[in-house]
Every structure is written in structure tokens, then in C-alpha cells.
Structure 1
């Protein structure tokens, strides 16, 4: 695909940047992908397609006025260059009518970065063969997306960023009956048939357990093992309003008690925005380079925020590559010391929680969250899963769960990729271990 080639981007960037007139600043943000998509039902292919697409956002800035537009690219260089130049002319005509933006901030010094991550991706035929073999006799319902994704940026000041990664994301359920299913996922850049088969087999073992009559639990406090997928849901909710500089300065952050040192998490809890580890690009849509790592919570204490350019300008703080929403894109919770393979033994008697959903805040100022258990959540006795549980709602403070309630974190983190493919494949991810907590509060 031409729009994924470096030479094509360089030619488009040169055309956009050369079009800037004295006193103007022009920029180009390119997003492109060539993705395979496959949907499965009963371990058979129900839909298979490939999408090749590229979009460019061009921006023109003069003083404190800025206008931008988004166009679809064809891969035909001459035609795309003409389209971008026409868009710049349109923006130039609009600029005099655009109000000055007091919080507009763009990079002062030109910067360059490059990441080109080659993956070992399976062909569509290989994925179909793996599913057919590993899920034989199972009601396997799933979705697979794979292929190269490009993010690139250039501006007339000399900034050039290039981010090209090859990755896959596969998630599936092994369905039993009614609302009973086991959900699993596999994501990364290096596909291995054996690892995929292992995960399917592991889910099949749990499928036998959820066929048993469910254990009905009374509301109350329980010892619980939260699998990485459940942890990713909790951390995603925390990222919604927890880490942004603007939310902190306006007092609306859900972590205000932590920021004011009115509360503390366990010293085991170390959370970072780790751009060097994730799949998201190391630069923003405005061309700011992102640090390799930003400390958010270290040894249980709030240590940093995510600051985008506008908040940095408004509050006189340095920008650190946050997106417009000041939400994390490469969140990483550091592993602990609990042996992952001994999770059930460490739990003893209590709940093994594979997935959570419908999460929201029940009290934002107290960082109190609520949500529902989902899929194969099991009752465990003396380290042995014995029965599924009925669907339950939890309502508990994140500060309590991972403060006094945190027993330990597992010794291995799992990459949980953002599976959103609406309009385009996302590159956000969360790396997290599982967690053992006590006193987890179920309300109904």
C-alpha cells in the first residue's frame, strides 16, 4: 500500500510544508492501515475482509489562529498532493475568520523520531486454520484484526515523526449457553500458533466449570483475584478523569485525595504512562514528542499528571505528550511478586474474576467505582475453582481496593490491546498484572 511507504509520506510532507507562506506554519498528520478482519461463529468464518485506508489532517497556523481539515487519500501521489494543497488553500481563506486561541501551543523546536516495528503476523488463512484446529467441537465466537498501522507527522518547522507498527488483536468467547461464556484474548506483534492454541485450551477447561449450577453469593466483602482483563477495565476507568492536568487543577480529578496525600495506595502500586513499551505513537497530533515514561503513581503516591499542550499553556506547566483528553494510551502497571501460576492457591477461598464491564463512578470524589462481573467468574475453595457465580455488582473505592485492600500483584504483566476498530484500528494498550485483593465489596 503506497500510503504506508516512507517515501510517499516524505513527498506528501514536503508538499504540505513547502506550501507555508511567511508567518504561517503548516503541518500534516497521516493515519493509514492495511488490516485483515475476520469474524468467527461456531469456529467457522462468518465474515472476512481487508481494509486499506489513509487519512491526512492538514493544519495551518498564523499567530494564535489555527484551522485544520481532514481528507481521504487515494495512494496516487500526484492526486493526493493536489488534494492537500487545495485543502491548505481552503484553510488559508478561513483563517482570518477564526478567533484567536489563547491556549494554542505548538512545539518550539523541531524534533524527529522513528519507530518501525516489524511483526510476525499470521495470514488470514493461517488464523482460520488455527481456529479450526484449536476450537474443534467448541462454539468459538471471535474477532481477529491484524496488519500494519501507520502514524506520521511533519510540519514546516522541520519536525518529522514516523511510527509504523505491525500488530494483531484476537479476542473470542467460548460459548456454553444463555449468558455463560469464557472470554479470552491474544494480542501483540509476534503471532505463535502454539500460544493461541494454549489460550483456547485454557478457556475450554474453564468452560466445563461454568456448566455447573452457579453459586449464589450474598452481598458482602470477599477476597478476590482480579485477572489482567478485569484489571484493565478498572485502570481504564481510572484513566477517565484521573490523571489529566486540567482535572487536577480544577479539582475534578477522581484522584484528588491521592494528589492531596489524604489517601495513599499500597507501596506495591506503581503506575506509568509508558510510551516506549506500548504500541501508541511517541508523539501527539500537534507534533509534541512524548517522554518514554511518565510516572503517575509511584509506591502508592501520586507523582505526575498527563498534560496536553493546551493545559500546559493555560496552567504554565510543561506539556508531556498527553492527548486532547489527557487520557493514557500506553498505561503500564508494574508487576509484583505473586507467582501467576499460583494465583488460585494465593487466593485460597474467594472469587476469581475474569472480566468486568459496565464500569462507571458511583462517587467521583471518592474514586468509588461500580460495575458488573462478566463471563467466567468463579467461586474458589482452598485454591480450587468449584463453581461459577451468578452475575454480581461491585461498588468499591479504587483507593481502598488498591490501598489497604491490595494483598499483591502477580509477577507477570499481560498486554491488553484496545480492540476498538470503529473508523480505524486503535493503538492504545494497557499492560497489567493480575491483583489479589481483600474485602472486595459486592452490593447485589
Structure 2
């Protein structure tokens, strides 16, 4: 029986999520995946790995006491069920010694959800063939991760949630020489060879520009166009406590000025936690059902926060499906009206920023960010890329950039999944369009 099959989880839930003396509730949370990982160097396979893994988190609750444990699973329902039964007995014995938690909040609703989507993913052989064909003659260095991922929840009161999606993500660089490269990515649930080849070809067209002498810019304020990849870095920074209820209440949020109406963003800025249209599950590890959408910023003004169960209990709020860290898992910046094909024309003269990295807050209270340009960023004149840029550091407030500085958002959004694979693949993502901005501040 496969770890990513619903029948496997149903068997475990039926076995261990039953009423038991000494506990008001027994919960089970499953995380599982079957993934291919393939590394490429010079458009040839450097490393290929297939991973099949699953972990179950079992918890028992009595009053305001809760204790949990996490086990690696074998995929054999009888063995895994026996191991979970043994762990449940240990947890029940330890539960009376656990201190009461004044902020423990569990869902009173007995809910259920089901999402089982099968994508169109390439086999390992088909992927290698696609890379070989699209990147022939190029110094292509990349990493692919893809396959089905599962999240599932059950409890002894009858809650049942199932989430199965098949997705992929491939990052790559086309190297010119030394540290000069064009970086790109392709992600989603439906792989199309022609779309992958188009993205590789688009990057290859820019390689000759990297051979030109770089343009050195003096520190100052510049007009700039940010690709969705660069926007993902900027908007993603807001997830570092920007939207969390606890951060807002304790004054540590980078968006406190927005909350207090001391600042506002451009009216074109609409941010939301959009679970319904992304790949994250519609429930939490504690069994809370997530709303389809949580509005965070509307027409440039703060309107909502991500409320974890603990913050909801502490501050008298309504929990809205946020994780314990109150970080977004399906953050969505609504697109604007500027046709993406016209972005360079709208920029006219300034910077084409393809990627950013090493971002951090230089002044959290002012929502001021700093970071570096990365890879193929170019100087633009009359709407045309004319020269590569030397690496530069920026330091600017998000509130200024996307307030008075925002000229336009492009009309097409791109989903950028979390590409981290430490311990496991992730289901969080960020969806954003590109943006044209004025007065972007470079410092050195």
C-alpha cells in the first residue's frame, strides 16, 4: 500500500483515531510524498534520486493538556498502525504530567474536505529528454523536484481531511562565464515540453548581452522593472511576521504603519491568503478548516491578519487557518492592467531586475528592506535591454516602493512555489505579477 494512497491513511485513522479513556480527543496528521529529484550540469544528469517517505503526527488531548509525537512510516498499514497504537499508550500515560496550556484552542467543528488532483508530470526519462533537447549546446545547471504530495488529518470525533496534489518545480541557470548567468524557473501541476523549451530559449537569447561590458551605476534612485521572480523575493519578505496577528499586537510587524493608517500602499495593491487557488491544503495540522480566502490588503490598506489558534485564544480573535508561525502559505498579489509584453516599453529607461537575493529588513518598523541584485539584471534604454548591470545593493521601504513608487503591475501573475527540500518538499507558494516602479534606491 502506498503512503500517498487515501486507503492507507483511512486504515491508520480507523485504527488509532478512536475514543479512548484518558483523552477527549485523538488526532492524526499525515505528511507524505513520492518525489523525483534530478540535478543537471551542462545539460546532463549529475544526480538522480527517488524519495518515498511519510510521517504521522499523533496527538492526544484532555482539557487544556495536549501532547504529540511524530513517527516515520513504512507504508505497511498493519505495522504502522501497531506502532501508532504503542505510541498512543505512551502519550496517554504522559498526558497527566503535561502542564495546562492556557492558549490551547482546537476546532469545535467536525468538518471534512477532499482534494485529490493528479497533474501531468514528466517521468524521469521524459524530463531528461526535455532538458537535453531544450538546452543542447548550453551550460545548463538546474534542479528538478516533482511528484505527488499528501497532507491528511483525522480525529476521534470524525473529522477527515484529505489533500493530494502532484506538482513540479525546476530551477536552472544558463551560464555565460564565471558568475555571469541567466536564471529561470518553471513550476506548476501541468508540465508542457514546449513551455519549458520556450523559457530556456528566452534565457539563451539574453546570454550574448552578458558578454558586453557591464554598466556601473552610481548610488541613487532609479526606475525599475521587477520580474515575478524578483517580486517574489520582495513580497515574500512580508511573510516574515508582516501579516501575523501576534506580530501586529506586539508591535513587531513590518506592516504596523499600514495597520495604524500611518502609511498606505498604491490602490492597485491587493494581497490575500488565497488557499482556494493554490496548492496548500485547506486545513491545518490541528484540524482547522481554512477559509478559501483571507483578505490582507485591499486597495493599498491593511484589512486583515493571519490568526493562529494560539493568537485567537490569546487576543480574542477568530482563528482563520493560519499556521503557528502565522506565515502565509498561499500569498497572492493580484495582477494589474499593464500587459506583460509592454513592461519594458513602460519602463523606457532604467533597470530590468530579474532576480534578488540575500534580502533582510534594514528597518523592520519602517518596512525597509535591503538586498542584492542577482544574475542577469540589465540596463534598459528606450524599452530595450542594452547592457548587463554590475551587482548592486538596494535599501528601500516596501511601503514607498509599492506606495508612491508603484507605476504599474503587469496583467499576468505567476505562481512561485517554495522550492526548499530540507526534510521534505513544501506545499506553500506565492503568486505575483511583475511591477514597474519609480525611485528604487540603490546604495552601493
Normalised-by-shorter TM-score class: over 0.9
Secondary structure, aligned partner of 1:3 = coil
The residue number in structure 1 matching 2:182 is 182
Q: Does the CA-based 8 Å contact 1:273-1:294 persist in structure 2?
A: yes
Deviation at 1:96, TM superposition (A): 1.5
Gaps of 5+ in 2: none
Q: Does the CA-based 8 Å contact 2:23-2:92 persist in structure 1?
A: no
How many residues are matched? 444
Q: Does the CA-based 8 Å contact 1:408-1:435 persist in structure 2?
A: yes
**1:6 paired to 2:36:** no
Residues in 2 aligned to 1:185 and 1:151: alpha-carbon distance in whole angstroms: 25
The residue number in structure 2 matching 1:408 is 408
The residue number in structure 2 matching 1:118 is 118
Deviation at 1:107, TM superposition (A): 0.3
The residue number in structure 2 matching 1:259 is 259
The residue number in structure 2 matching 1:355 is 355
Query: For 1:39-118, what aligned pairs fall within 5 Å after superposition?
Result: 39-118=39-118
Secondary structure, aligned partner of 1:322 = coil
Q: Does the CA-based 8 Å contact 1:227-1:435 persist in structure 2?
A: yes
Deviation at 1:24, TM superposition (A): 2.4
CA offsets, 1:354-388, max 9 Å, x none?
A: 00000000000000000000010000001000011
Residues in 1 aligned to 2:142 and 2:383: alpha-carbon distance in whole angstroms: 30
Residues in 2 aligned to 1:49 and 1:23: alpha-carbon distance in whole angstroms: 42
Q: Does the CA-based 8 Å contact 2:19-2:25 persist in structure 1?
A: no
CA offsets, 1:62-91, max 9 Å, x none?
A: 111100000011011110000101111111
Q: Does the CA-based 8 Å contact 2:22-2:62 persist in structure 1?
A: no
Deviation at 1:22, TM superposition (A): 5.7
**1:218 paired to 2:218:** yes
Residues in 1 aligned to 2:267 and 2:20: alpha-carbon distance in whole angstroms: 51
CA offsets, 1:290-339, max 9 Å, x none?
A: 00000000100000000000000000000000001000000100000111
Secondary structure, aligned partner of 1:2 = coil
Secondary structure, aligned partner of 2:17 = helix
Residues in 2 aligned to 1:38 and 1:350: alpha-carbon distance in whole angstroms: 37
Deviation at 1:206, TM superposition (A): 1.2
The residue number in structure 2 matching 1:35 is 35
Residues in 2 aligned to 1:35 and 1:57: alpha-carbon distance in whole angstroms: 21
CA offsets, 1:385-443, max 9 Å, x none?
A: 00110000000000000000000000000111111111000011111000000000000
Residues in 2 aligned to 1:243 and 1:203: alpha-carbon distance in whole angstroms: 35
Moved over 4 A (4+): none
Deviation at 1:251, TM superposition (A): 1.0
The residue number in structure 2 matching 1:307 is 307
Deviates more, 1:14-23 or 1:386-395: 14-23
Deviation at 1:343, TM superposition (A): 1.1
Q: Does the CA-based 8 Å contact 1:284-1:321 persist in structure 2?
A: yes
Deviation at 1:212, TM superposition (A): 1.1
Query: For 1:276-295, what aligned pairs fall within 5 Å after superposition?
Result: 276-295=276-295
Residues in 2 aligned to 1:358 and 1:232: alpha-carbon distance in whole angstroms: 13
The residue number in structure 1 matching 2:419 is 419
The residue number in structure 2 matching 1:391 is 391
Secondary structure, aligned partner of 1:100 = coil
Deviation at 1:20, TM superposition (A): 2.8
**1:275 paired to 2:275:** yes
Residues in 2 aligned to 1:181 and 1:21: alpha-carbon distance in whole angstroms: 62
The residue number in structure 1 matching 2:15 is 15
The residue number in structure 2 matching 1:322 is 322
Residues in 2 aligned to 1:151 and 1:110: alpha-carbon distance in whole angstroms: 18
Secondary structure, aligned partner of 2:366 = coil
Secondary structure, aligned partner of 1:326 = coil
TM score, norm. by length of structure 2 = 0.99
Secondary structure, aligned partner of 1:20 = coil
Residues in 2 aligned to 1:93 and 1:374: alpha-carbon distance in whole angstroms: 54
Deviation at 1:19, TM superposition (A): 5.3
Residues in 2 aligned to 1:267 and 1:58: alpha-carbon distance in whole angstroms: 45
Residues in 2 aligned to 1:370 and 1:138: alpha-carbon distance in whole angstroms: 33
Gaps of 5+ in 1: none
Secondary structure, aligned partner of 1:86 = helix
Deviation at 1:21, TM superposition (A): 2.5
Residues in 2 aligned to 1:365 and 1:418: alpha-carbon distance in whole angstroms: 26
Q: Does the CA-based 8 Å contact 1:408-1:436 persist in structure 2?
A: yes
Residues in 2 aligned to 1:187 and 1:2: alpha-carbon distance in whole angstroms: 25
Secondary structure, aligned partner of 2:173 = strand
Residues in 2 aligned to 1:422 and 1:255: alpha-carbon distance in whole angstroms: 29
CA offsets, 1:85-118, max 9 Å, x none?
A: 1111111111121111000000012110111111
Deviation at 1:23, TM superposition (A): 4.2
Deviation at 1:260, TM superposition (A): 0.5
Residues in 1 aligned to 2:3 and 2:340: alpha-carbon distance in whole angstroms: 42
Secondary structure, aligned partner of 1:146 = strand
TM score, norm. by length of structure 1 = 0.99
Query: For 1:421-436, what aligned pairs fall within 5 Å after superposition?
Result: 421-436=421-436
Secondary structure, aligned partner of 1:56 = strand
**1:235 paired to 2:235:** yes
Q: Does the CA-based 8 Å contact 1:19-1:85 persist in structure 2?
A: no
The residue number in structure 2 matching 1:250 is 250
Residues in 2 aligned to 1:178 and 1:20: alpha-carbon distance in whole angstroms: 63
